[in-house]
Structure 1
């Protein structure tokens, strides 16, 4: 099992999760974070740290978010690792909780 970053991270990109990750499995894109399933050790530390509640255990992902499992694996191979906390995107609080953000994902 691994953990997966889902749609609510898009346009928010809070990095509180990065700070607690013991294996540096997070990767950063322009407006989204992903978890490398090959690096994730299922420690569960990141999930409660996410202010957007966008991180789920692979077997607990809501049905409408399942596509993010493959997306995390794909983008983790393309994006650089992020190991330090950064400021969230400027309008993160406005985007937090808004549905239908998948089409806004920047690669």
Structure 2
């Protein structure tokens, strides 16, 4: 089992999860984070730290469509080990449906 970052991270990108990850398996894109499934040790400490509730175990139904995206972009984006500033409008986007269309494949800045 591994953990997966899902749609609600898009445009929220709070990054609280990054600070607690003992193996630094988060990677940063322009408007969301992903978890590298081969680096995740399944400890689960990231899940309760996410204010947007965007992190779920891969056994959760919500994870299915996001698992491959996490794998792909974890190999392309830079690793992030410290919490940065979330977008100024993150709270406005938290919980909004249909954010998948806003996914930005460009790498972010660690």
TM-score normalized by structure 2?
0.93
Which SS does the other structure have where 2:27 is aligned?
A: strand
Residue 61 of structure 1: how far off its partner (Å) = 3.4
Q: Which residue of 2 aligns with 1:5?
A: 5
Residue 90 of structure 1: how far off its partner (Å) = 1.2
TM-score normalized by structure 1?
0.96
Residue ranges of structure 2 left out of the alignment (5+ in a row): 106-110
Q: Distance in 2 between matches of 1:37 and 1:14?
A: 20
Query: 5 Å matches for 1:1-107?
Result: 1-62=1-62, 65-107=63-105
Residue 20 of structure 1: how far off its partner (Å) = 0.2
**Deviations for 1:49-69, whole angstroms, at most 9, x for unmatched residues?**
00000000000132xx52100
Q: Distance in 1 between matches of 2:95 and 2:24?
A: 26
Q: Distance in 2 between matches of 1:12 and 1:66?
A: 20
Which SS does the other structure have where 2:37 is aligned?
A: coil
| Number of residue pairs the alignment of both structures matches | 105
Residue ranges of structure 1 left out of the alignment (5+ in a row): none
